[in-house]
Amino acid sequence: MRTIALVLALSGCSLYFGDDDGGGDDYKPLPDAGRLLDAPVIVDAGGFGTLMFQQGVNNYSDAHDTYLDKTSANTAHSTEARLLWRQNDMQVALIRFDGLFAPSRIPLGAKITSATLMFNVDASTTATMRDVIIPWTDITTYNSFGPAPGVDASDLGASVASLAINNGMATVTVTDSVARWSTAPNLNYGWIILATPTGAIAGSAISSDDPNLAARPRLVVSFTL
């Protein structure tokens, strides 16, 4: 017998339901989920849910991304349609999804079973992604990031992934990051993308300010209670 775990309506994220039968086709969008944005989360005894967060989709507006540029060290770039990174930390990209944990989203302390970050890359690139462990905002610049200008090792947390990306969609597993934030949401400072010392000199990706909503970065999180 299947146990169907249903999450009813989330404030600002796409809604899915799943089953625990171990078979395929486990995630399906709930019809007319947009009508339920103010309803509480309801999870049955199976305690399973999957949510997608993407700027501008289903009223979600808590995505933040920008890049820091050493050549324009006092300029913020959070409203631009592209995220940039370049060797020697001349440019680095920052991505963060706020508001993940709330009664109407992912319940605080939920067990994160998987989390995947997806973003569209404009050209082939090699890069690394790491957790950020210092605060930053939409107006952060190269000179105002951290206690000293630019990126220092003390600004960065765990390594998340090494990326070798062709033009198109990048898919990165970020389960460990989101699991840490599930018990301490105040430590969610997102991720940084740094060009590797060898390989492609620079890279770029579509940001959360691109006019095409479907092309913007998105975070998909599965959890149990």
Cα distance between residue 74 and residue 128, in whole Å: 24
**How high is the pLDDT of residue 165?**
73
- The overall pTM is greater than 0.85: no
**How high is the pLDDT of residue 46?**
59
**How high is the pLDDT of residue 12?**
54
Domain count, the chain: 1
Residue range(s) defining the domain that contains residue 206: 4-224
**How high is the pLDDT of residue 84?**
96
pLDDT tens, position by position, 124-149: 778 999 999 999 999 999 999 999 99
Q: Which residues of the chain fall below pLDDT 50?
A: 1-11, 16-45
Q: What is the DSSP string of the chain?
A: ---EEE----TTSEEEEEE-SS-S---EEPTTGGGGTTSPP---TT-EEEEEEETTSTT---EEEEEEEGGGTT---TTSSEEEEEGGGTEEEEEEE---BSTTSBPTT-EEEEEEEEEEESS-EEEEEEEE-S---TT--TTTSSSSSS--GGGEEEEEEEEEE-SEEEEEE-HHHHHHHHH-GGG---EEEEE-SSS-SEEEEE-TTSS-GGGS-EEEEEEE-
Q: Which two tokens stand for residue 193?
A: 């993308």
**How high is the pLDDT of residue 95?**
98
**How high is the pLDDT of residue 65?**
98
